[in-house]
Amino acid sequence: MRAAVGKLPARTISMTNLNSAGEDRNMKDIDQQTQTELEAAAFRTLVEHLRNRTDVQNIDMMNLAGFCRNCLSRWYGEAAAEKGIELSKDDAREIVYGMPYAEWRDKYQTEATADQQAKFADEIKKVH
């Protein structure tokens, strides 16, 4: 069964860093607000990176990482719904793709090869 994604516990986290000798060095505890801000910044950077990497196909992301742009947009929509915010599937996709999904698909999506489709079918069996 697939673990819920994006469901990090609401708590203070302690960041660990390795020093030049390879030893753990505890950093200052991060409060919940800062943690949320860091997570949001990382998400925005990921989305921007994916918008710029139109050569990376969703099926390749699914085969390698188990998620794709559509997954991110679905998770975004689910998070909005949890906050009582109505966000359509198309609106959530536009947030992630940076343009309407149909436009992105027409400009950048390529036909999946037989090998990509076979790998995808195998991956789906693993998570469902």
- How far apart CA 56 and CA 50 sit, in angstroms, is 8
pLDDT of residue 92: 98
Enter the CATH code of domain 57-128: 1.10.3340.10
85 pLDDT more than 80:
yes
The rounded mean pLDDT for the chain is 85
pLDDT of residue 13: 53
First to last CA, the chain: 6
Q: What is the 3-state secondary structure (H, E, C) of 12-66?
A: CECCEEECCCCCEEECCCECHHHHHHHHHHHHHHHHHHHHHCCCCCHHHHHHHHC
- How far apart CA 43 and CA 6 sit, in angstroms, is 11
C-alpha distances out from residue 52 to 73, 106, 115, 124, Å: 16, 16, 25, 27
128 pLDDT more than 60:
no
Tokens of 120: 């995808």
Q: Where are the domains of the chain?
A: 13-52, 57-128
Least confident of 3-17, 34-48, 101-115: 3-17
pTM: 0.75
Mean pLDDT of 114-121: 94
83 pLDDT more than 50:
yes
Using one digit for the tens of pLDDT, what is the confidence trace for 88-117?
999 999 999 999 999 999 999 999 999 999
Which has more pLDDT, 59 or 126?
59
CB 95 within 8 A of CB 76: yes
